């Protein structure tokens, strides 16, 4: 009789997963001894979630690591100028390179990155802008950038791999408005995407959207032991980051989350909100029609804009409604605060 293969969770509990980069005190150890998270140096204003019963990682990321809290609200509008026609021109420099990233304290993953980070920068523009993206490949494999949206065939990034130390300029007009994404489209695509070559791509409507506290959440996962399955799940790369560093929002104020699923290997990922419902604008391409719900499932490449306003103060979880993903890192907390009276 063949032994049943050890499950991903069993592996993490035993602390044996991710042997390629799992340090003592990493994710495995965290599951063996869940305890109160230590406050993050320099991040005291974010506060830490007070529950001592959460399943979270122990320890902190190395100084200088990718900061998911900063990434949440970092939108890259590019270098802005105007063409002779008056059309807005946004120019970007994107470099692909190879870099070890920390996906949980002490758990490293040998990533391929756009501009040194996973996800890559959140590209943001307005419908009708001209985008000019100079892409340089400093990696050892061929790569490309495939933007979702409407553009000419020769700007699609699917048939023109950019080889090592070569550049390519993608240029097209931004359309349609909505929430899109970009990713490498070089074969084998699942490996190139999973390694980290992806990012969010927001095209705002010309008239904009109502004022809101905005944030970007890219649902991703990491196969840290290269067995074709993810051992770590997250939004914005770092397991449990927003559980250890809750996202402060104000009661009664509109929140807009741009949520993109790039998770490889699993057919679906999902987003579930506690203590509230959100208005679900699939792909963000329609300003009027929405679904009012608290859970949305997405396949890889699907994305949605979620809008919500909290009625009650306090900590509220958000997480994948695949419980396994939530327990392997894809779980966070909104800390809803009263708005001080003026």
Contacts with Cu ion by CB under 5 A lie at 143, 184, 186, 192, 197
Per the CB < 8 A criterion, the answer to whether 143 and 197 are in contact is yes
Q: Alpha-carbon Rg of the chain, whole angstroms?
A: 20
How far is CA 101 from its chain centroid?
A: 14
Tell me the closest approach of the beta carbon of residue 112 to Cu ion, in angstroms. 6
Tell me the closest approach of the beta carbon of residue 201 to Cu ion, in angstroms. 17
Angle at the Cα of 311 from the Cα atoms of 237 and 239, rounded to 5 degrees: 15
The Cα–Cα gap between 213 and 54 comes to: 26
| Other C-beta atoms lying within 10 Å of the C-beta of residue 34 | 14
Closest CB to Cu ion among 69 and 300? 300
Closest CB to Cu ion among 114 and 318? 114
Among 271, 316, 276, 277, CA closest to 293 = 277
Tell me the closest approach of the beta carbon of residue 64 to Cu ion, in angstroms. 25
Among 2, 87, 27, 77, CA closest to 230 = 27
Tell me the closest approach of the beta carbon of residue 190 to Cu ion, in angstroms. 11
Cα dihedral 287/291/294/298 (nearest 10): -80
Tell me the closest approach of the beta carbon of residue 237 to Cu ion, in angstroms. 18
Closest CB to Cu ion among 105 and 120? 120
Closest CB to Cu ion among 186 and 220? 186
How far is CA 178 from its chain centroid?
A: 17
Tell me the closest approach of the beta carbon of residue 197 to Cu ion, in angstroms. 5
Among 245, 221, 249, CA closest to 235 = 221
DSSP string, 204-269: E-TT-----EEEEEEEEEE-TTSSSS-SEEEESSSTTHHHHS-EEEETTSEEEEEEEE---SSS-E
| Other C-beta atoms lying within 10 Å of the C-beta of residue 50 | 11
Closest CB to Cu ion among 193 and 280? 193
Closest CB to Cu ion among 270 and 300? 300
Closest CB to Cu ion among 37 and 139? 139
Closest CB to Cu ion among 143 and 303? 143
Closest CB to Cu ion among 183 and 245? 183
Q: Omega before 188 cis (within 30°)?
A: yes
The Cα–Cα gap between 176 and 156 comes to: 15
């Amino acid at each position: 009789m063949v032994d049943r293969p050890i499950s991903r969770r069993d592996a993490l509990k035993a602390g044996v997963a991710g042997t390629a980069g799992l340090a003592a005190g990493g994710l495995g150890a965290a599951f063996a001894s869940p305890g109160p998270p230590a406050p993050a140096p320099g991040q005291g204003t974010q506060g830490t979630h007070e529950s001592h019963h959460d399943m979270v990682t122990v320890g902190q990321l190395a100084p200088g690591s990718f900061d998911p809290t900063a990434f949440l609200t970092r939108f890259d509008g590019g270098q802005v100028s105007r063409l002779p026609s008056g059309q807005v021109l946004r120019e970007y420099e994107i470099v692909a390179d190879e870099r070890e990233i920390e996906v949980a304290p002490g758990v490293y993953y040998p990533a391929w990155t756009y501009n040194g980070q996973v996800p890559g920068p959140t590209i943001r523009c307005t419908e009708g802008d001209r985008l000019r993206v100079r892409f340089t490949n400093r990696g050892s494999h061929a790569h490309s950038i495939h933007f979702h949206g409407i553009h000419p065939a020769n700007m699609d990034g699917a048939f023109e791999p950019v080889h090592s130390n070569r550049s390519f300029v993608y240029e097209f007009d931004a359309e349609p408005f909505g929430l899109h994404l970009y990713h490498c489209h070089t074969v084998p695509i699942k490996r190139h995407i999973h390694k980290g070559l992806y990012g969010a791509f927001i095209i705002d409507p010309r008239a904009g959207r109502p004022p809101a506290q905005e944030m970007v959440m890219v649902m991703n996962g990491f196969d840290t032991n290269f067995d074709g399955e993810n051992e770590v799940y997250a939004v914005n790369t770092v397991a449990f980051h927003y559980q250890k560093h809750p996202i402060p929002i104000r009661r009664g104020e509109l929140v807009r989350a741009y949520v993109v699923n790039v998770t490889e290997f699993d057919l679906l990922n999902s987003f579930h909100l506690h203590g509230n419902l959100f208005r679900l604008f699939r792909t963000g391409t329609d300003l009027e029609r929405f679904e009012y719900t608290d859970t949305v499932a997405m396949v890889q490449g699907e994305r949605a804009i979620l809008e919500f306003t909290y009625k009650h103060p306090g900590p509220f979880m958000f997480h994948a409604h695949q419980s396994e993903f939530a327990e392997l890192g894809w779980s966070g907390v909104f800390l809803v605060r009263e708005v001080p009276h003026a």
